[in-house]
Structures are given as C-alpha cells and as structure tokens.
Structure 1
Amino acid sequence: MWFKQISFYPLKNKNGLPDAETLAAKLAEAEFAPVQGLDWFSEGFAAPVPFSPELVFPADFTLGVALKKEEKVLPAGVIRDILEDKVLEIQNAEARNVGRKEKQELKEQITDDLLPRAFTRSSRVQAVFDTKHGYLLINNASSAKAEAMLTKLREALGGLEAALPNTKQNPSSLMTDWLLKGACDGGFELDDMCELKGTGDVVPTVKVSKQDLTADEVVQHVKNGKTVTQLGLVWREQIAFVLTQEFTLKRIQYLDVLQEEAESHGDDAALAFASQVLSAESLSTMIEELVSYLGGWQE
C-alpha cells in the first residue's frame, strides 16, 4: 500500500487500539452498502486490498482499512432541460405563467423521479494504523476526506484519541528557513519545487518547478518577505515528496531501494504486506524526524 499523499493524526493512546479481529468486527457494523432509492450517497468500510474480502488487512505492526463512498450523479443540465420542458408544457396547456415556488416544487419532483435511475460514482480512501509509531496515516491530503475517515472510525470504534499534528514550530517557518539557507537538516535535501506566498489583500503567489532552489532568483523571494507554503524534499534518498504548511505530504515517490525491497516478496498478498509495512515504517520515521526539527509536539 504505497500512499501517494498523506494526512496523518498522532494517536494519543496507541496501546489502546483494538487488535485486527476486534477492529474488523467493529468496522463490520459500519460496512459499505450500495446507495439505494432516494438516497444521494452511501458510505462505509470496505476491503482495503483487492484479493481479500476482509475489512482489515493486518501486516506486522500495521492495520490497513478503507472507507468507500458511492454517490449518485444527476447532471444539473439534465434536470434543467426536463424542467424547462415541463414548464413550457404547463404554460401551453393552462395558459398561465409558472411561478418560482412551483418551479422549485417541479424541480424537486423531477429530481426524485430521476434519482433511483441515476448513475453512481464511487471513491475510496485508504488508511493505515501504525501501532508501532502511533499514527493514523490516511492516503489523502484533503482535510475534508481525512476528517471523514477519522469521523467514521470514531463512530465505529466508539471513540479514537487522535488529534491534528500540532508542532511547536509551524512547517511554513521551517521550510522558509531551509530555503533561505539553501540546505536542510538531517536526512532531508531540497528537491526542485516550491510554492511561496506573500501578504496583503491580494496574496501574491509564486510557484517554482524543476529548478535549483538554491538559485538567487528563488531565494530572493524569501528575502523580499514571502514565506514557503509548499516545499519539495528528498529524505535519505528513499522518498521524494512535497511538504505543505498544513503538515500534509503530497506527490510522494518511493525511490528504488524501497520499491525493490517490497517487490522481492513475491505474490500479491506478500507484496501488499511488504509495501504496507515498508511505507508505514519509512513514512512514520520520516515524520518523526520532521517533528524533531519542528520543535516537537505542542503539549
């Protein structure tokens, strides 16, 4: 399970997490069911790996889960066209104008008639409980989707002590310092992209891509008062990623050494096991190193 983007939550009581069997039983009470009738969407837990119907995929110190959402799709243009035809039909048949309130009632009736026959689209968000390091890693950098996963897990488990990552120094400040001095601390190196923002009523934004971040024209933006909101980094020649000011990770790329180690494990199940463990171990260790340079967690 190679996550391409990450929102994460530190777990306050990692030893209090349920085991795989108990977690699966809890999630089964909120298992995904296809959207029905006049409902617009359905959301629930589904199998995190394609080769097994189980709701939890345990791998060493990790527990993989997935939240599936199915939504009905009714294009606004289709409803509008049908509504216009219906209004025209009434006007011609009854020789009167159709008011706004009646149009709204007709629109709702048309929507209800179409909804059971509407197309559906599905999406899936995967997550891993890292019980060794004490993190919930969610494969999405969207705060809304990460919060949706956390909320459903809390409902299923009857509570989950997890909080947003809140460090003593904010990531934007650290990224700005690293860009200004042209080098990072520890196992981190500058990659080739960044985003900087200024201040004011109309916030100026500068995006730099595929460029040497130590170049004078890039560093000058910081000297002119802009702060870094996204920064491309490489960690220990293993992972390339973009760090954001919200402390999410985007555009994660696992470099050859990790990929080769996972692929040496054989069939689909073994490969999934290895990739989930290796990605969780490397990402959590990298996060902990970042936290140390951010001054640690706020109490």
Structure 2
Amino acid sequence: MWFKNLKVFRLSPTWQPSTEEFETLLQKQAFQAGQFSSEPLNLGWAPFFDEEGTLIHKVGRHYLVKLLVEKKLLPASVINQFAKAKALEVEEQQGYKVGRKQMKEIKEDVTAVLRTKAFSIYRETRVWFDLDNHWMIVDAGASSKSDEVIGTLAKVLDPLPILSYMTEQSPTSSMTSWLLDETAPDSFTIDQDTELKSMTDSRISVRYANHSPEHDELSKHITAGKTCTRLAMTWNDRVSFVLNDAGDIRRITPLDVLAESRENLNSDDAIEHFDAEMTLMFGELNALLNDLTDALGGEKKQ
C-alpha cells in the first residue's frame, strides 16, 4: 500500500481547495476509455476506489488521486508493414511513386485506423497532496510519469500551484561527502547499495550492491572524478530507501520497527484499513522528508 517511489514537489501554500472544488476541476480531465487522438497515450483521472466513484480519496487533510494511462500496443513494424502495402495501392492508382510528404500522411492514416483495433494496456500513477505540509508526491520512479501527472494537472489548474523541491546542497555533493567522511547525517545510516559515476562521462560508473566499498577504494574513485549518484540509506531504523542524484527517493520499505503499528490496523473494511495505513505512511514520510531536507542543507527559498 505504501508509496514505493517519491518524486517530490512543493505546493503553493495559498492553494487550499475544498474536496468539492478539486473534484470538479479534475472531472474536466476524467479518464475516457478509448479516447485516442493523434497522441499515443490516453490519460485522465480515474476514481481512486471504484466503489466510491469519486476521483479524490480524502484522508484528513490529504488528497489521494490516481492518473490512469491507456496505451495501445502498436509496434512500429506493424505500422510500417501496413503503410507499405497502402503506399503500393496508392502508387497503382495514381501511376507514380508516393513522395515523402504523402508517405507521412499514409502512415498517419494507417496508424489512426490500426490504433482503434489494437489492444490496450493500462497503468496507474498515484499522487498524494498534503495540504498542511504543502507537498505533492508522485509515486513514480521515472520522470516521464511525473511529467504526465503535472501535464494533466496543468490542463485544469490555472495557475498551476506546483513548485520544484530544491535544497541548498545537491544530493550528489552531499552523498559524496557522506561517503568520503564516513559519516551519515543525523537520523540516518548508510546501507550497502552505492553507485558512483564519472562527472565527465556518464557511461563510466561503479556500482556496489549488498556490499560496502572500502574507504581507500572510494577515495580513489572520487579522486578520479566520480561522484555518488545513488545511495541506500535508512532513516531512524524505521524506513529504508535509496536516494539518487535528482533528489528522488526510491525503493521505500517500512522496516520491522513499524510492524507492530501496522499489525494493529485491524478492520474488516478494506478502505478503513487503507486509510489507517496511509495515515501511518503520511506521518513517517513527512518526518523523513523533513530530516532529509535538513541533511541537504535546508530548502531553497523560491
């Protein structure tokens, strides 16, 4: 149930919509099955729980929403095959070969027809809005997915109340210093998953998995111009995660110290159990984000 990956953004403190106001806005971009235009993806907000029917699931001062993405399985090789056959038909009819512009139009027409017959695959991206602490968190490991979320929100929110989350110190320089100094920031420990990359050639990298490199070995890599771009850490013996050079928090895992709290979330109602689990997650991840922000020198003013 917990978010596995955090793409972190700030919300404007003045953005405080009611559930009804936000729901009305999101309905303008509600998911419509099969609504494909020239775009390869069909995106829209879907009910967070089908049984509730609303796009927003509210837990206290937190809103949870879900972006549903439909993609047609339409390989380029299939498009080219049908386009080539269609081009031959056109050539026979007009008596001369199709040109580049005409071939492009044929491909577009063929793609539009094939898309209506292609199979669909679906994926979901969960988003958490924290109105009190002004966070917007996207449960995604790839920037492309958070871009989809922001792009879809931009169609209904004007002005867009989303700001970048930036710290005074870059994650890369901080992680490199922690490794070099063999000192983790307060409330954190360093775990056995590290990646170093060359500052001049990103293809050159060194990865340590389930293994802590020797300090002398690390020093040689850093002296040679490599910096830390990925570091596994644990916060207060409660949550483990991996921090990367973009400031993304990945592979979040609540640890055994939280097991007792989670076991006490007894309810026969699935949604009530979910809400209790989310309330636990909200509290833990908010505290983690605050401590991590302090460890990175504090947040930059925007």
Aligned length: 298
2:242 is matched with 242
Amino acid at match of 1:114: L
- Given the superposition, is the C-alpha separation of residues 189 and 219 from structure 1 closer, same or farther in structure 2, using an over 3 Å criterion? farther
Question: Structure 1: how far apart are the matches of 2:32 and 2:263?
Answer: 34
Q: TM-score, normalised by structure 1?
A: 0.88
Structure 2's unaligned 5+ residue stretches are: none
Question: Structure 2: how far apart are the matches of 1:95 and 1:23?
Answer: 58
Question: Structure 1: how far apart are the matches of 2:286 and 2:298?
Answer: 14
Amino acid at match of 1:22: E
* Bigger Cα displacement from structure 2, 143-152 vs 57-66: 143-152
Question: Structure 2: how far apart are the matches of 1:278 and 1:111?
Answer: 47
- Given the superposition, is the C-alpha separation of residues 91 and 31 from structure 1 closer, same or farther in structure 2, using an over 3 Å criterion? closer
Amino acid at match of 2:233: L
2:26 is matched with 27
Question: Structure 2: how far apart are the matches of 1:137 and 1:43?
Answer: 19
Say whether 1:145 aligns with 2:145: yes
Say whether 1:110 aligns with 2:94: no
Q: Contact 2:180/2:215 (CA < 8 Å) preserved in 1?
A: no
Cα offset, 1:166, TM superposition: 1.2
Cα offset, 1:234, TM superposition: 0.7
Question: Structure 2: how far apart are the matches of 1:17 and 1:151?
Answer: 20
Amino acid at match of 1:273: D
- Given the superposition, is the C-alpha separation of residues 56 and 102 from structure 1 closer, same or farther in structure 2, using an over 3 Å criterion? closer
Look up the SS of the partner of 1:208 in the other structure: strand
Q: Percent identity?
A: 29
Match of 2:289 among 272, 275, 287: 287
* Bigger Cα displacement from structure 2, 97-106 vs 187-196: 97-106
For residues 146-184 of structure 1, give each alpha carbon's deviation from its aligned partner in whole angstroms, at most 9, with x where no partner exists: 133133334323334321111111111110111112230
Aligned 1:1-299 pairs, distance under 5 A:
1-13=1-13, 16-36=15-35, 38-40=37-39, 41-88=41-88, 97-201=97-201, 204-213=204-213, 215-265=215-265, 266=267, 267-299=269-301
Cα offset, 1:241, TM superposition: 0.8
Cα offset, 1:250, TM superposition: 1.1
Q: Contact 1:38/1:116 (CA < 8 Å) preserved in 2?
A: no
Look up the SS of the partner of 1:211 in the other structure: coil
Cα offset, 1:257, TM superposition: 3.2
Q: Contact 1:6/1:137 (CA < 8 Å) preserved in 2?
A: yes
Q: Contact 1:62/1:277 (CA < 8 Å) preserved in 2?
A: no
For residues 26-81 of structure 1, give each alpha carbon's deviation from its aligned partner in whole angstroms, at most 9, with x where no partner exists: 22222111133655432211122354322111112321111112233321111222
- Given the superposition, is the C-alpha separation of residues 9 and 99 from structure 1 closer, same or farther in structure 2, using an over 3 Å criterion? closer
* Bigger Cα displacement from structure 2, 60-69 vs 169-178: 60-69
Q: Contact 2:65/2:127 (CA < 8 Å) preserved in 1?
A: yes
Look up the SS of the partner of 2:155 in the other structure: helix
Question: Structure 2: how far apart are the matches of 1:213 and 1:133?
Answer: 37
Structure 1's unaligned 5+ residue stretches are: none
RMSD (Å), alpha carbons:
2.5
- Given the superposition, is the C-alpha separation of residues 105 and 198 from structure 1 closer, same or farther in structure 2, using an over 3 Å criterion? closer
Q: Contact 2:38/2:112 (CA < 8 Å) preserved in 1?
A: no
Question: Structure 2: how far apart are the matches of 1:155 and 1:88?
Answer: 41
Cα offset, 1:260, TM superposition: 4.4
* Bigger Cα displacement from structure 2, 289-298 vs 184-193: 289-298
- Given the superposition, is the C-alpha separation of residues 165 and 61 from structure 1 closer, same or farther in structure 2, using an over 3 Å criterion? same
* Bigger Cα displacement from structure 2, 32-41 vs 205-214: 32-41
For residues 222-244 of structure 1, give each alpha carbon's deviation from its aligned partner in whole angstroms, at most 9, with x where no partner exists: 24332111111111111111101
